[in-house]
A and B are shown apart, each in its own frame.
Chain A
Amino acid sequence: MFPAPRHDSYGKPHLMKARVTVTLKTGILDPQGKAIEGALRSLGVDGVASVRQGKVFDIELEGADPKKAEVLLKEAADRLLANTVIENYRVEVVG
């Protein structure tokens, strides 16, 4: 016998989807972005002027209040997801 699933399709809590995008601040050297830029050029992908590498966090949140979600995501970004010495971040609640 398999154990019963924790939530059936009726009992699932609503999960709000959100995205935090972390990018390097302007003026911070990005050697990884530079290497990717060079690789694109050597692949013959034309017209790439520059590349900056960043990170995307897709986060599911319990609860349905977008205002609260935004506060929570900013806290998560400030305290862990981004290092604000070198990085900027953007939070989006996507539904």
Chain B
Amino acid sequence: MKAAILVFPGINRERDMARTLKLVSGSTPNMVWHTDHELPAGTDLVVVPGGFSYGDYLRCGAIAARSPIMDAVRAFAAKGGLVLGVCNGFQILCESGLLPGALMRNAQLKFICRDVHLKVERSDTPFTRGYNAGQVIRVPVAHGEGNYIADGETIAKLEGDGRVIFRYASADGMIEPNSNHNGAINAIAGIVNEQGNVLGMMPHPENHVEEAIGRTDGRGLFAGLTEALGRAA
């Protein structure tokens, strides 16, 4: 794996992500500054991490999405390169047009920082091959704007094409309003683009990868990616 983690002013989860990628894949990722115009040669995974790029000014992710490096990410994604956006990274991918829809203020207006359960809808993607379809994983969320929304046509297309990858669920995998902590349409926690090579998700799988932390449910995503890229160092 030769991952590139994008770094914007105000991002604060890039080191968690780097630590996880190194731990699971064995390879140290490159940290790429937002004013760069190119990704490091040989990059096979771009990660847009969580945090508060530009202090969430204007709209979450709006200013980061217009950074010079994002043109390189768009070109990389157009060629089929794998892109993972977590939390603010998901917001940045939506704002940049790489994923449809938008992330609005949580329905309850609260910043939510706790573990949630996610139902993994598909296991046949490079991001989720480390899980079984229907499996429930427990990972943390930490966001104030995670309420996914898109127009009816877009939602119908996402659902029809099986592009909803993660949903907020109960511990036993039921999709019900009480588990949908931020009010997202159809309890959507993560989606992929039409080609299936760009994933955006609000929860933080990178924070549940070590026994010392208590859980390792997030490890499957990075182990799956490492396997998909076929270059576990």
B57 → chain A closest CB, angstroms: 11
Proximity string of chain A (63-95) to chain B, C-beta cutoff 8 Å, 1 when within and 0 when not: 000000000000000011101011000000000
Query: Quick check: is B129 within 8 A (CB to CB) of the other chain?
Result: no
Contact B62 A83 (CB under 8 A): yes
| Interface-side segment among A2-10, A11-19, A29-37 | A29-37
Proximity string of chain A (14-53) to chain B, C-beta cutoff 8 Å, 1 when within and 0 when not: 0000000000000011011001000000000000000000
Most chain A Cβ neighbours within 10 Å, of B59, B94, B183: B59
Query: Quick check: is B106 within 8 A (CB to CB) of the other chain?
Result: yes
- B95 proximity list for chain A (CB < 8 A): 83
Query: Quick check: is B19 within 8 A (CB to CB) of the other chain?
Result: no
Query: Quick check: is B66 within 8 A (CB to CB) of the other chain?
Result: yes
Most chain B Cβ neighbours within 10 Å, of A29, A35, A81: A29
Contact A29 B104 (CB under 8 A): yes
Proximity string of chain B (101-137) to chain A, C-beta cutoff 8 Å, 1 when within and 0 when not: 1101111110000000000000000000000000000
- A29 proximity list for chain B (CB < 8 A): 104, 107, 147, 149, 183
Contact B58 A80 (CB under 8 A): yes
Contact A31 B106 (CB under 8 A): yes
Contact B150 A31 (CB under 8 A): no
A35 CA / B66 CA spacing, docked (Å):
31
- A85 proximity list for chain B (CB < 8 A): 94, 100-102, 149-151
Closest chain B residue to A80 by CB distance? B66
B interface, by DSSP: helix, strand, loop or mixed?
A: loop
Contact B105 A32 (CB under 8 A): yes
B194 → chain A closest CB, angstroms: 16
Q: How large is the interface on A (under 10, 10 to 19, 20 to 34, 35 or more residues)?
A: 10 to 19
Closest chain B residue to A55 by CB distance? B58
Also in contact, A31 and B109, with CB within 8 A (given A83-B62, A86-B102): yes
Proximity string of chain B (53-78) to chain A, C-beta cutoff 8 Å, 1 when within and 0 when not: 00000110011001000000000000
Contact A31 B101 (CB under 8 A): no
A86 → chain B closest CB, angstroms: 5
Choose from B66, B104, B108 the contact partner of A28 (Cβ within 8 Å): B104
B171 → chain A closest CB, angstroms: 26
A80 CA / B150 CA spacing, docked (Å):
18
- B147 proximity list for chain A (CB < 8 A): 29, 31
Closest chain B residue to A84 by CB distance? B102
Closest 3 CB pairs of A and B: A85-B102, A86-B102, A31-B109
Of the A-B pairs whose beta carbons lie under 8 Å apart in the complex, a sample of 11, sorted by A's number, is: A29-B104, A29-B183, A31-B105, A31-B107, A31-B108, A31-B147, A32-B105, A79-B66, A81-B58, A83-B95, A85-B150
Residues of B at under 8 Å CB distance from A? 58-59, 62-63, 66, 94-95, 100-102, 104-109, 147, 149-151, 183
